[in-house]
Structure 1
Amino acid sequence: MTTSPGRFPYGRVLLIHAHPDDETLATGVLIADLTARGAAAGVVTATRGEQGEIVDGALARPVSGEQLSRVREDELREALDSLGVRWHAYLGTRPARAAGLADRAYADSGMRWIRPGLAGPAGDVGPDALTRAPLEEVTGDIAAAISAYRPDAVVTYDVDGGYGHPDHVLCHHATVRACQELDVALWFTTSDPAEHHVAVEGAQHLDIVKRALRSHRTQLTVVGEDVVHSGGQREPILTRVLLRRG
């Protein structure tokens, strides 16, 4: 597969993510690189991540799901500011809501670990969860966001959602449909070194990405050049983003 190192060749990019912190963990380097060279990056976040675990000691007292949503909204806002993102929408709320439908909040569907590195559906999924919504509804909302932001290209997860999280997988399928309907260039993030067309090298943006990651203090901890997730999983901070044409 032909590979082009360096810059992602678009001036206006919309990234579709499932939960707060995904934008920085998976594409923080890409966003930082876009904004550093004067390109514009917009982000759509599908849920508030209220089913995600909480880092021990990150909150002074127990909180409800609604309160955690507000906390993670604040964390996401801070992270996006660090990355230089100036346009953001939550899926289901305008402008990321299909015409004629009342605004709604998609809830985090949750997940369970099938094996290390591979997630699957949670045992108990709430009625307002993203994965309970019809694919056509989610597709319409993503299409509305694309029409509002008018990007040159859209970026989202590959078909496996990165690690199998059902919300990530649904975002993939809905974004594919929306981009096909609107005839917009679509790119997927991938971890497969043999299946990418562009490799964005971003070690020079590591400090910016670290600052954005630290904003998500209830979900992860930055230790040196690693991320430690709330569940204890540790991995290097991503400084190279591989992208595959959709």
Structure 2
Amino acid sequence: MTDHRMLLVHAHPDDECINNGATMARYVDEGVGVTLVTCTAGEMGEVLVPELSYLAYEEKGGLGEHRRGELDEAMTVIGVTDHRFLGGFGRFHDSGMAWHEEGHAIPAEEIPDNAFWNADLTEAADELVKVIREVRPQVLVTYDQFGGYGHPDHIQAHRVAMYAAQLAAVPSYRLELGEPHDIAKIYWTAMSESRMRESLRELRESGDTETFKGMEPDGKLPPFVTPDELISARVDGRATVQRKMDALAKHATQVEQDGHFFSGAESGHSWWAEEYYRLARGTAGTTGADGFEEDLFAGL
């Protein structure tokens, strides 16, 4: 084990594998302490397994408990032994979402009373302050201010993570939550524009018009794609991408086993092995030839 510690804050089970699965696996292998905090159980997600359709929120319910098991299995594959739900399982409920005509997520018209989107920001942040002061990470990973694609729970996870990081460092703030701790580096997840365009071009040239349907190599890209000049770090996960994909497959209710996540990986067009980050706080360390940090702990 090293003395390095990383904290990741995500909205629902499966978000961690999609965004950071290869990164988590890499750092687990390097002996870094990796802690995952998931803010909701994803109770209002889609159910892509027909025989489990009864778990849907609008049916009998129970999807959150099922996804809790999926997360356990996924983290076993990755090797993360410290994964928690913010405030404990069930404290904050999935908020659901709707789609805007411009192609990004927005809050749904009806939101559960105990939805994460409706949570008091300080109350939710204090739950994370306790974790920060206990784990004492040097690196925090979460979403950008838009939550990648506008999902209200992703946006709230960003707000909670950023506010909690600030509160946790205040020497006089709620000392019963633990000894103050200042996180050295905070990263927001990102997807590289150049890598996305390259992948789209390969897909379209191969005759695949379904994967990332509606997106074209030289066209307008959705908000979760980040211009390369805004990206600070790239983690090379080629050695751990298979664990990432195996872990993602454990989230079976959320990810089609023959969908673009896996067909992309098998086709060679996938960029799932490379995970990109924007440095939101702290000082960048040594960069590689392409100008990206290759290690999120660089400079520490």
TM-score range relative to shorter protein: 0.7 to 0.9
Determine the structure 2 residue equivalent to 1:62: 54
- Output aligned runs, 1:8-27, within 5 Å: 11-27=4-20
CA contact (8 A) 2:49 2:252 kept: no
Which residue of the other structure, out of 103, 123, 129, is the alignment partner of 1:137? 123
> % of aligned pairs identical?
34
> Is residue 41 from structure 1 mapped to residue 73 from structure 2 by the alignment?
no
Q: Does 1:83 align with 2:117?
A: no
| Structure 2 length-normalised TM | 0.69
Distance 1:240 1:126, change over 3 A: same
Q: Which has the higher contact order (CA 8 A, sep 6+)?
A: 1
| Pairing 1:188–2:162 present | no
Q: Secondary structure at the match of 1:139?
A: helix
Write the mapping of 1:59-138 to structure 2, written as runs, cut at 5 A.
59=52, 62-63=54-55, 65=57, 67-93=62-88, 105-115=91-101, 117-138=103-124
How many residues matched? 222
**Rounded Cα–Cα distance in structure 1 between residues aligned with 2:33 and 2:51:** 32
CA radius of gyration, larger in:
2
Do 2:245 and 2:262's aligned partners in 1 also have CA atoms closer than 8 Å? no
2:196 matched to which residue of 1? none
Unaligned runs of 5+ in 2: 170-181, 192-225, 264-268, 281-300
Determine which of 133, 148, 156 is the counterpart of 2:142: 156
- TM-score between the two structures when normalised by the length of structure 1: 0.83
Q: How far did 1:113 drift?
A: 1.2
Q: Can you list the C-alpha shifts for 1:115-144, whole angstroms capped at 9, x where unaligned? A: 465111111101010011111111111111
Give the deviation of 1:146 after TM superposition. Answer: 1.0
- Return the alpha-carbon distance in structure 2 between the equivalents of residues 245 and 213 of structure 1: 25
State the alpha-carbon separation in 2 of the partners of residues 10 and 76 from structure 1: 26
The residue aligned with 2:287 is none
- Verify: 1:241 aligned to 2:236, yes or no: no
1:85 alignment partner AA: V
2:42–2:67 Cα contact (<8 Å) kept: yes
What is the one-letter code of the residue matched to 2:38? Answer: T
Shift of 1:105: 1.5
| Structure 2 equivalent of residue 198 of structure 1 | 233
CA distance in 2, matches of 1:111, 1:224: 22
Distance 1:164 1:132 in 2: 15
Q: Is the 1:138–1:174 Cα contact (8 Å) retained in structure 2?
A: yes
* Local SS of the residue matching 1:189: strand
Q: Per-residue displacement from partner, 1:12-50 (whole Å, max 9, x unpaired)?
A: 101000000001011111111111222121100000001
Assess if the C-alpha contact under 8 Å between 2:145 and 2:158 holds in 1. Answer: yes
Q: Which moved more, 1:23-32 or 1:103-112?
A: 103-112
